[in-house]
Structure 1
Amino acid sequence: MVTTLEKRFTLPATWPLPADAEAAGRLREHYESLGRTEARFARGAGGALLRSLGGNSPFLAELAAREVATVRLVAQAGPGVAVERAMAALAAVPPTAPRARVAAALRQAKRIVALATAIADIGGIWQLDRVTAALTDLAEAALRLSVAHLLRAGHDSGELRLPNPDDPARGSGFTVLGMGKLGARELNYSSDVDLILLQDPESGIYHGDSAGAFFTRIARGLVGLMETRDADGYVFRTDLRLRPDPAATPPCIALPAAIAYYESMGQNWERAAMLKARPVAGDIALGAEFLDAIRPFVWRRHLDFAAVADIHAMKRRIDEHKGTALGAHTHAATRILGHNVKLGRGGIREIEFLAQTLQLVWGGRDPTLRTPRTLEALRLLARGGHLSRRAAGELASAYRFLRRVEHRLQMVADRQTHVLPDSPDQMERFAVFMGYASADAFATVLLRHLMRVQARYGEVFEDVPEEDQNGAPPALDFRGVGDLPEATVVALRGMGYDNPAAVIAAVRSWQAGRARALRSLRARELMNTVLPRLLVALSRQAQPDAAFARFDAFLGRLPAGVQLLSLFQRNPSLMDRVAAVLGASPSLADHLARTPSALEGLLSPEAQPDCDRLLRSRLADARTLEDAITIIRTTVREEEFSISVATMEGRMDIDAAGLARTALADAALAMLLPRALDDFAERYGRVPGGTMAVVLLGKAGSREMMAGSDLDLMLIYDHPERRHESVGPRRLPASQWFIRAVHAYIAAVTAPDAEGPMFAVDMRLRPSGNKGPVAVSLSGFERYHAEDAWTWERMALTRARVVAGPPRLRRRIEAAIRKALASAGDPKQIRADAAAMRARLLRDLPPSGPWDVKLRPGGQIEVEFVAQTLQLVHAAALAELPSTTTREALARLAKAGFLPEADAALLTRADRLWRTVQGLLRITYGRAPAEKLSDAAAAALLRAAQAAGADAVDLPGLHATLDAVARDVRATFIRHVGEIEI
C-alpha cells in the first residue's frame, strides 16, 4: 500500500546520460518484459533512471534487474524508505538464526541499500554525508548481527558463558573497532571495512582450552560472513591489518597486549589511524574503555610538529610506490588519464592527511578538534584558527567532489578502485556518468580541485621555510675542537656577541650531543638547520650573550629536542619571539626553562580564547579532582605566559591583559568549585539545601589582574535553618562542614607542583580578617557589615564580584553587598577613615624604590582610594552595585556629577600608566623592581608607557613624567578624600 509520504516523492527530472546506449536499452527492455506496471514505469518516470543505470554501470544494471521491487519502491517513496525497510528487516533477524539465514539476510540488505544509495547519489537526491552515513549504517548493522550470531553460537556450544545470552554482545568481552572511513562514518560506495578485533582475557566468559584459538575462529567467522561471495553477492570486504603488528599477532588481540603496544611502540601513523577509531559492534562499552585507555597515545598534551614530518614521509612513500603525479600533458583530459583520485597528488588522501595531522598537532590542547569526520575536522580547524577559512572551504569542496568521483568509479563494476580510466574513450564514458558533456569539461573541474588541494597540502607539509642564513654571516663554522675558528669569532663579534668563545663552546657541545635533548641524530640535524637563524635572533637582543646563555640553559633542561626544533623549523618566526623573551624577561626565561611546553602558547591563534569553553573542553579528559587540578593549572600557566609575552611585545595593552587574566581566573575558580565540593562530599556527605559561592576582591575583583597577582577570596555559604548537619558517610555540623569544604577548595586552587601553586590566595579581606572563619555564612556576612565592618573593609567591597556558585545564592550575595555599601556611614567619616588608612600604609609599607608605582605617594593606591571612597560616599545615590573596575568607576562617578571630568580624566590616565609600569616590571623582573633596568626591559617599558600616554623618549624622561603624574594624583586625592597626615 502506498502511503501519503510515498505519494509525495518524485524522482529528479535529470539523470546522467547513458554512456552505453545499447546496455541502457537492454535494462529498459528487461523491465518492459516483466509486466504492465514495470513497462509503464520504464516508459515513463523511471525511463531516465533505468537508462542512466543501465548505460553507465554494469553492476547497477544487474542490481536493478534483480531488485525490481527496490527500484519501484525508490520511485514511489524515495531511497530513504527503501533503506529504512532493508535495515528494519536486517534488525529483525535474531542472533539464534541459522548461519545460512544470517548470511542471506546480510546480502539482501547489502543489495537493497547499495542500489537505493546509488540512485540517491547519482540523482542528486542525497548529499555526500547522507550517502556515506547510509553505507556506514549498513556496515555497522551487518557487523552487529554477525558478531551477535557468532557469540551466541559459541554460548550455545558451551565454549562461552555469556552474561546476557539474549543480547550476546553486551558484556561479552569482545569488541570490534571500526577504523578508517567506517570509524568516521564516511564509507565509500565499494569500500573495505577496516576493523580491529579485541578481546578481554579478564572477562571470564571463555571456558575452553585456548581463548586465543577461539577468538581467532570468531574473527574468521566474521570475515567469512562479511566477504564470502555466493549467488547472493557479498556484504563488505574486510581488512584486519590495522591491528598492532599484524604480521606477528592473531586476528583478535588481547586487550592488555594492545594497550601495551600503543603505549610503548605505537607510531604516528597509528595515532592518525586511531583518530578515527570507534566501537561499532560487540561489547561497545569495552571498546570505549580501550579507546579511553590509549587516549594519551593518540592525543598528546603538547604540540607535536614532529608528526608532520612523519606523516608526510608516509605520503612520500605512497607517492614513490604508486606513482601518483599528474600527467605532464597540456591537454586537460589527457593529464588525468589513469590518475588515482584517492592516493594521487591533490587527492582524497592529501585532504585526509592534512586534516588528521593538524588534529594530531593541536588536538591534545584542544579536545574540540577531536572528530573522526574529515569535513567536520576542516570546519573545526578553521574555527580554531589552525586553517584559514578559505583553505578549509576549498578543501571541503574538493573533498565532496572527489568523493563523488570515487563513488562513480566504484559503481561501474563494484570494484574498490580509485583510478580514473586510462584510455580516452573510457574517460569520455566516465565523464558522461559524472554528468559532464565531455572529458575535457570534467577534467577542467577535476584539475581545479586537484591543484587547490596540492597547494593547501604543500602549505602544511612541503613548504618548510628554506634553510637560509636569514642575516647570519656565511663564515659561521663550529667544527673542530680546541682552537677557535677565527672567521667564526669575527662573525659572532660582528653580530653583537661579546664572548664568542662561550657561544662556540656551547654550539660544539650541542653538535656533539652532550645535551640530553640533542642525543638523537634527528635532533642534531634539526639543530644544524635552525642554528643560523637562531643565532641571529638571539644577537638582536639588547644583551645577546645573556640571551644566548638563557637559551643554552633552556635547552639543557629539555628531555628531548626533536619536538622543539621541529617547532622552530616549521615556525621560524617563533625563534624571534623566543629570543625576545630570553632577552627581556629573566622571569619568563626561567618559566620557559622549567616549562618548555609554554612555547606552544605562542603558536596558538592570536585571538583571546573563550576561557570557559577552553577549560570545559580540556576538562573532558579529567576523571578525578587531581586530573582537573592538573589540567586547569597547566592551562592557567600556558595562558598566563601567552598574555605576558603579548603584553611585553606590545600586542596587548594592560587593560586587555587584565581582562584576559581575570577571565582565566574566573573560569578556573568556577570549574574547580563543583568538582572540589563533589570530591569533598564523597567523604563527608552534603548539607541538604546548602550552597556556596566564591567572591573575588582586589585586582581580581576589579578585572585588573597582573602577572603574579594574588587572588583575594571570600567564600560565602548558606543553608536552610532546619539543616544543622551534613548527611553522608560522616556527619558534621553544618558550619564545620562548610569550613572544611572551603579548606578543600582552597587546597585545590593552591595545589602546588614543581613550579608552585596555580594561584596564590589571600583571604584576609573576609569578615574579621585572619581572626574570622574561612567560610562565612550569608547571614554572618550581612550581620558583620551591618554592625562591625570598618570603612576599609567596605572600600574593599567596592571591588567584590561573585564569580562562582548557584545563581540564586549569587543574587542574594550581590544584594547583601549592595546593602552593605549603601549603609557605609557618614561621608565625612568615610573620607577621614580613607585618608587615615592611606597615611598608615605610607608609614607601614613605604615604596621599595623609584619604580614602585603602587605604593609611592600619588601612586596606584591613591587612585584606587579616590574611586573607592567616592563610591562609598555616594553609594545610595548610585543605587546599583559599584563598578568594580577602577577606570569604569571613575567614568561612572564623573557621569553622575560626583567627580569633575578633568579629575576623572587625570585619574584614569594615571591608573592606566601605573598599571602599565607595574605590569611590565612584574613580567620582566617579578614582584621586586630593580633599581636599574636592563636595556631590553627598559625598551619594553618605554614602548608600553608611550602607548599608555606617557610623553617620554628615555628613562629619565619617563621618571619625570611619573613624578608629574604622581603630584597631580596626590593633589586630586587631597581634594576629594582629605589631607594625609604621616
Structure 2
Amino acid sequence: MTDFAGLKLRIGGTADLHALSDAEAARRRDDLASSARAADLDRLAAWLDVDGVGDRDRLVAALSLSPHLASIAERRPDWIDQLFDIEAGDRVRAIIEALGHHVPDGATEAAEMTRLREAKAEASLLIALRDLFGAAGPETTTADLSDLAEAAIRRALRFALADLHRRGQLDLPDPAHPETGCGLTILGMGKLGGRELNYSSDIDIILFFEPEAPAIRDPTESVEMFSRLGRRLVRMIGERTRDGYVFRTDLRLRPDPSAMPLAIPIPSALIYYEGAGRDWERAAMIKARPVAGDPAVGEAFLREIAPFVWRRYLDFVAIADIQAMKAKIDRHRGFEGVATAGHNVKLGQGGIREVEFFAQAQQLIAGGRLPALRTRRTDEALARLAAKGWVAPAISTELTGAYWFLRRVEHAIQMVADEQSHTLPTAPDDLLRIARLCNFGKLDAFEAALRDRLERVQARFAALFSEGRATRADEGVLDGLLEDGADAAALKRLSDLGYNRPADIGRIVHRWGSARYRAMRSEAAREQFVAVLPSLLRAFSGGSDPDTALAAFDRFLEGLPSGLQFFALIASNPKLLELLAEIITSSPRLADTIARRPHVFDALLDPAFFRELPTRELIRERLSAFLGDARFFEERLDRLRIFAAEQRFLVGVRLLSGVLEGEVAGTAFSDLAEAVLGEVLTAVADEFIRAHGRIAGGRIAVMGLGRLGSRELTANSDIDLMLLYDHDPAAEMSDGARPLPFSTYYARLTQRLISALTSPTAEGVLYEVDFRLRPSGNKGPLATPIEAFRKYQAEAWTWERMALTRSRPIAGDAELCAEIGEAVREAIVAHRGDPLLTDDVADMRARLDVQKPPRGALDLKRIPGGLTDLEFLAQWGILTGRVSLDLVGAPTASVLAAFRTAAPDDETGFDDLPGIMLEMTRIMQILRLGGDKALRMTDLPGPLADRIATALDLADRTGIEPEIARRAAEVREVFSRTIPYRGDLGA
C-alpha cells in the first residue's frame, strides 16, 4: 500500500506559505484533486486527500493565493504529479534545453506556437513554485525566466529563418544552424538583457542586421524581409491563443521607433546613436545583450556601439538627465512619497527603478574609464561599484537587499493574475494576498518591511543626486551678484565669508553672469553654474588670500572653452571645489591643463585616487582598459593623448597635495611615457605595415635618453628618443602593396612615430620629442641600424657617451632591446681608459657655466652645484667604472648612492650627495608645476612655495633659497675636487 503521506514534491525550500483563507485552500485542493482524477493521476489525487502533509499545505496555499497558478495546475495536473519524481529545477532546465533542439523540417508555425506556449506555462508554474517555496531566490527566478524567454526567441527565430531559406529569400550558410551567418541579431534589452526578467514581463528586443551579410540574397529587400520576420516573431511569441501566450514583446526601444523599420541596418543604427542618441538610450544600452541571431553580428554591434554608451570622459550631465527622467516618471504617474497600499514598487519613490538608476547613473559616469563597471545586472553593478570604491560597501549591500526584496514583491503582484502590473492593491484583503505570496503571515509585518526598503532606497537615490551639495541658504543672496555686482546684501555676505575686497569680487561675479566667457554662453551651462555658485564662493573663501584665489579662478574660467560638463561635475561633487581652489591658486600649469582640457579633472573622482600609487603595472592596466574598445588608428591615438594628459595631471595633483614626493613623481611620469610610447609604436608600426608591408627579419626598438632614460621626467619634460632597427642582410625592399627600400622604410616609420607623438589635435599633443641625441645628431638619419650604432659609438665623443649612461631601451622588439642595452655597455667599457675623459667632463661643465648661467636662485639645473653638477658626477662615475654598469639608466640619486659606497678614500664628500639629489629632485618636480618661468621665489604662487618648504622640512618658505644655496655649495665643492677643471677652459 502506498504511503501517500510520505510523498514529497521535489520542489525544495523551507519557506512558510499561508493560504488566503482555509476555505479558499480547501476549494483549490478539491479542484486540483478533481482534475487529477480526471487525468487518471490517482497518486496525486490520493496525496491531496491526506491531511497534515507539509508540501500539500504549501501547494494549496500557493494556489489559493494565485488564481493564475491554480488555473495552470488544474489544467495540467500532470505537471504537479511529475514533481514526485523529478526535481522542479531540473525540469525547468530541461524545458529550456529542449527549446534549443533542432526544429523539425516538417514543423508548422501553429505547432511551434503551441509548443512554445506549453513550455512557457509549465516552466512558469515550476519557477513560481520554487520561488514561493523558498527553493530559489529572486536572483535564480529572474535568471530562469530570462533563459526561458531567450530560448523561446531563439526557437521562433530559427523556425522563421529556416522558412525564409526554404522560400529562397535567404541563403543560409548552415541551414542546420539557421542563426549562424544569417546576418541578423536580436538584442535583448532591459531586464531580458540583464537576465533579470519579471514573472509576467514584456520582453524588450531590437532587431539589427548587417546589410552586407552573404546570406542576404537581395539587399534592396533586406529591410522589408527582416521586418516581416520581426512581425512574425512577435506573433509567434506574443499572440494570445487558446494555449495562452509566451511573452508579450515590445520593439519600441529601437532607434526612433516612429520612423525606423522593425529591423534596422546596423550602419543606419550607428549613425542614429552617434548623431542623435539620448542619455536614456545610453542607459538602455547598458543592458543590451545578443539573445538570438548571428552571434558574430551581435558582438560586433556591441563593440561598435560601445563608444556611444561608454564615454571616454566622466559624464555628469548624464546624472541630471537621469534625474530628469525619474522626475518625469513621477509627474506622469502621479507618484509622491512612500506608501504601501497602491504603491508602484517599480516606478514609485523608493522603488526598483530608483535602484536601477542609482547603479546606471554611476555606470554611465565612470564606465568609459573603468570597464569593470560595464555589467548588465543591477546587483553585479552595485557590487562592482563598491569594489571600485564608488559606493560604500554597506550601501551596496543595503540597496542589493532592497532590490531583491522589491523584485519578490513585484513577482507576487504579477503571480496573482499574470498581469504586467507593479502596483500594490489598495484593498486590505488583496494586499494580504501579496504579503502571503511574499511569505509574510501578517499584513503589518509585510508593510513594515516594505516601507523600510522603500525609504532606504529613496534616501540613497536622493543622496546620489545631492551628495555633498552645499546648502542653498546663500543662493538668494549670492546669486544677486549675477544681476547686480554691487548688490549690498551679497557684498556683505562676501565680506562675512572672508573676502577682503568684496566690491572687486562682486564685479568679477557679475562678469560671469553676463555670459561674456565661452564657458558661460549656453543656457544649460549657466544653469549648472548658478547651481554651484554659492559652493564655489565658499570654497575659495577658505584660503589665506581668498581674493587672489578667486581672481585666479576668474582667469581660469576665462580660458575654459566650454562649461557644461565641468560645471555639472563640480555641481555633483562639490568636495572637489576645495581641490580645484588649491590647484588654481598653487599651480598655473595644472590650472592651465584643466582650462584647456577640463575632462582631466574627471580622474580625481576615482575613489581610489589618493590611495593608489601610480605604479608601472597600474598605469599599464589602466591604459589597456582605456584602449580596449578603440576601433581605429586615429581613435587609438586620441585615447592615448587623453590618457597621457590625464595621468600627467593626476601625478601633478598628487605631487601638489603631498601624496607623492618628487622622486616618486619622476618615476611615475617616466613609467607613463614608457607605457604610452610602447602603445604608440605598436599602433604606428601596425598602420605602416598595412600600407607598406614588412622588411624581412625586420625589428625595431626605441631607446629613451635623458630624463626619460633615467626615469626622472618632470611634468613638462620633452622626451629624448632614438629609434634603432635591424633586418635580414639580404632584405632590400618591404613586401607590401607599396614597397619601400629598407632605409626609406625605417626613416618614414620614424617620421610617422614623431608625427603621432607631436601632432596637435583636439585632444592635444602627446609629447614633445627630441631625436638630436641620435648618431650624428640632426645630420644623421632619423632611424639607425643597430650595427651602425655600434660602429658610431666606438668613435663617439665623450658627451655622447655621457648621454648613454642615462639611456634605456623602452619599447619594441624584446631581443633587439636587449642587444641595444648590451651595445651601450660595450661602448661605455671601450672608452674607460680614455685619458681625456675627466678633462672633457670638466670642460663641458665649465662651458655651461659661461654659456648658460643661472637665471635665478631657483634655476636648479644651471646654478653651480645644481642638478647638472650632480648628473655629471653620476655620469662620470659610470664612465670611469667607479659605478656598476647595472646602473646605466638608473635615477641619478641611485647612481650617486652607489658612487658613495664605491668612492676611494681620496674622493670624500660623497655621503651627502644622494640626499641632496633627492632634495633638488623634489624642488624641481614641484617647481615644474608652477610653469617654465618659476626661477625665483617672487615667481612662485605662495601655496606652491609652501609645498616646497614642506618637502624640504623647513619651517616656512623664507628658508628655501638659503637651503638651496647651502646645498649647492656643498655639491660644487665636491665636484671641483672630484672633476677639477682649469678656468681657461671656459673662456
TM-score, structure 1 length as denominator? 0.86
Contact 2:99 2:151 in 1 (8 A): no
* Corresponding residue to 1:848 among 848, 855, 858: 855
* Corresponding residue to 1:923 among 921, 929, 932: 929
Q: What is the aligned length?
A: 957
Distance 1:172 1:575, change over 3 A: same
Contact 1:715 1:775 in 2 (8 A): yes
1:100 aligns with 2:135: no
1:644 aligns with 2:652: yes
* Corresponding residue to 2:282 among 271, 285, 293: 271
Contact 2:930 2:944 in 1 (8 A): no
Distance in 1 between the 2:410 and 2:906 partners? 73
CA offset digits 1:840-881 (Å, max 9, x no partner): 332333222222111211101222233333344446x84745
Report the Cα offset of residue 498 of structure 1: 8.5
Q: Aligned residue for 1:416?
A: 420
* Corresponding residue to 2:320 among 285, 301, 309: 309
SS at match of 1:147: helix
1:238 aligns with 2:242: no
Report the Cα offset of residue 602 of structure 1: 3.5
Q: Aligned residue for 1:348?
A: 352
Contact 1:341 1:419 in 2 (8 A): yes
* Corresponding residue to 1:359 among 363, 368, 371: 363
1:933 aligns with 2:933: no
Unpaired segments ≥5 residues, structure 2: 1-8
Q: Aligned residue for 1:530?
A: 532
Report the Cα offset of residue 181 of structure 1: 1.0
Report the Cα offset of residue 895 of structure 1: 5.8
Q: Aligned residue for 1:4?
A: none
Output aligned runs, 1:158-557, within 5 Å: 160-162=169-171, 164=173, 166=175, 174-198=184-208, 205=216, 217-246=228-257, 251-252=262-263, 258-259=269-270, 261-282=272-293, 291=302, 294-322=305-333, 324=335, 336-420=340-424, 422=426, 430-436=434-440, 438-439=442-443, 442=446, 445-463=449-467, 465-468=469-472, 474=477, 477-478=480-481, 504=506, 507-538=509-540, 548=550, 551-552=553-554, 554-556=556-558
Q: Aligned residue for 1:576?
A: 578
Distance in 2 between the 1:209 and 1:961 partners? 80
Distance in 2 between the 1:316 and 1:781 partners? 68
SS at match of 2:481: coil
Report the Cα offset of residue 942 of structure 1: 3.1
Q: Aligned residue for 2:913?
A: 907
Write the letter of the residue equivalent to 1:270: E
Q: Aligned residue for 1:760?
A: 768
Distance in 1 between the 2:448 and 2:873 partners? 72
* Corresponding residue to 1:669 among 662, 677, 681: 677
Distance in 2 between the 1:585 and 1:711 partners? 22
CA offset digits 1:914-967 (Å, max 9, x no partner): 2232223322122x33446356x1431232233233x35234x32111110001
Report the Cα offset of residue 182 of structure 1: 1.4
* Corresponding residue to 1:954 among 942, 946, 957: 957
Write the letter of the residue equivalent to 2:877: L
Distance 1:246 1:476, change over 3 A: closer
Report the Cα offset of residue 626 of structure 1: 1.4
Write the letter of the residue equivalent to 2:585: G
Distance 1:215 1:940, change over 3 A: same
SS at match of 1:712: strand
Deviates more, 1:916-925 or 1:22-31: 22-31
Contact 1:498 1:545 in 2 (8 A): yes
Write the letter of the residue equivalent to 1:708: N
Distance 1:895 1:120, change over 3 A: farther
Q: Aligned residue for 2:967?
A: 965
SS at match of 1:757: coil
SS at match of 1:693: strand
CA offset digits 1:394-440 (Å, max 9, x no partner): 32333334334433443444333334454555555555544456555
Contact 2:656 2:947 in 1 (8 A): no
Deviates more, 1:218-227 or 1:544-553: 544-553
Distance 1:816 1:117, change over 3 A: farther
Distance in 2 between the 1:252 and 1:77 partners? 40
* Corresponding residue to 2:563 among 541, 556, 561: 561
Report the Cα offset of residue 671 of structure 1: 1.5
Output aligned runs, 1:853-868, within 5 Å: 853-868=860-875
Distance 1:819 1:360, change over 3 A: same
CA offset digits 1:10-37 (Å, max 9, x no partner): 8646354453553357657866884577
Q: Aligned residue for 2:737?
A: 729
Deviates more, 1:435-444 or 1:847-856: 435-444
Report the Cα offset of residue 308 of structure 1: 1.5
Write the letter of the residue equivalent to 1:852: D
Distance in 1 between the 2:910 and 2:136 partners? 64
Distance in 2 between the 1:75 and 1:324 partners? 48
Distance in 1 between the 2:764 and 2:223 partners? 50
Distance in 2 between the 1:94 and 1:794 partners? 79
Distance 1:220 1:736, change over 3 A: closer
SS at match of 1:142: helix
CA offset digits 1:139-179 (Å, max 9, x no partner): 22322332343355456556x45565836556656543321
Write the letter of the residue equivalent to 1:911: M
SS at match of 1:360: helix
Kindly report the root-mean-square deviation, in angstroms, between the aligned alpha carbons of the 2 structures: 4.1
Distance in 2 between the 1:919 and 1:782 partners? 35
Distance 1:41 1:248, change over 3 A: same
Report the Cα offset of residue 365 of structure 1: 3.6
Write the letter of the residue equivalent to 1:191: S
Report the Cα offset of residue 460 of structure 1: 0.8
Q: Aligned residue for 1:5?
A: none
Contact 1:516 1:556 in 2 (8 A): yes
Report the Cα offset of residue 683 of structure 1: 1.6
SS at match of 1:695: strand
SS at match of 1:622: coil
Distance in 2 between the 1:212 and 1:727 partners? 42
Report the Cα offset of residue 681 of structure 1: 0.5
Distance in 2 between the 1:61 and 1:688 partners? 76
Report the Cα offset of residue 192 of structure 1: 1.1
Distance 1:782 1:455, change over 3 A: farther
Distance in 2 between the 1:722 and 1:50 partners? 87
SS at match of 2:196: coil
SS at match of 1:717: strand
Deviates more, 1:597-606 or 1:63-72: 63-72
1:886 aligns with 2:896: no
Contact 1:121 1:128 in 2 (8 A): yes
Q: Aligned residue for 1:332?
A: none
Write the letter of the residue equivalent to 1:683: A
CA offset digits 1:885-909 (Å, max 9, x no partner): 2333344455667799995662233
Distance 1:398 1:777, change over 3 A: farther
Distance 1:525 1:759, change over 3 A: closer
Write the letter of the residue equivalent to 1:849: G
Contact 2:211 2:219 in 1 (8 A): no
Report the Cα offset of residue 757 of structure 1: 2.7
Distance 1:671 1:508, change over 3 A: same
